[in-house]
Amino acid sequence: MKRIRMCGTREIAAALLLGLLALAACAGAPRQPASPAGGGDLVLRVPPQEAHAQVAAGKALLVCAYESESVCSTIMLEGAITLKALQGRLAGLKKDQPIIFYCA
């Protein structure tokens, strides 16, 4: 908190603006392949609106990508599960089950 008080209003506004621009760029990004995960699996970037629709329809799992349960609890999105919960469900998942990972 002390670091924020030491910064000027312009610096804080600039940092907030850069953060908002980065979020807007990610949210408006089209689906695109990211680097392959290995083994021929395809990793896609999914816009937030599409991710929400897939999870709400039960078509995809939404997983908080942090191993720490305490971190996940602070940023848990509606319908999401933790990595630990995913590990417990892996045996019962189909090979083609879409899984959407997120982090903040």
Point out which residues pair with 63 in neighbouring strands: 81, 101
Neighbours of 62 (CB within 10 A): 21
Considering only residues 19 and 92, tell me which one the structure prediction assigns the higher pLDDT: 92
- Band (5; pLDDT cuts 50, 70, 90): very low
Q: What is the mean pLDDT of residues 41-51?
A: 85
3-state SS, residue 8: coil
Please determine, for residue 31, whether its predicted confidence score (pLDDT) is greater than 80. no
Considering only residues 62 and 32, tell me which one the structure prediction assigns the higher pLDDT: 62
Domain boundaries, the chain: 1-30, 31-104
Q: Across all residues in the chain, what is the average pLDDT? A: 75
Please determine, for residue 95, whether its predicted confidence score (pLDDT) is greater than 50. yes
Considering only residues 38 and 93, tell me which one the structure prediction assigns the higher pLDDT: 93
Neighbours of 100 (CB within 10 A): 21
Q: In the prediction, which pLDDT does 52 show?
A: 92
Q: In the prediction, which pLDDT does 103 show?
A: 86
Considering only residues 8 and 29, tell me which one the structure prediction assigns the higher pLDDT: 8
Q: In the prediction, which pLDDT does 3 show?
A: 47
Per the document, the length of the chain is 104
Residues 68 and 31: beta-carbon distance below 8 Å: no
Distance in angstroms (rounded) separating the CA atoms of residues 10 and 16? 10
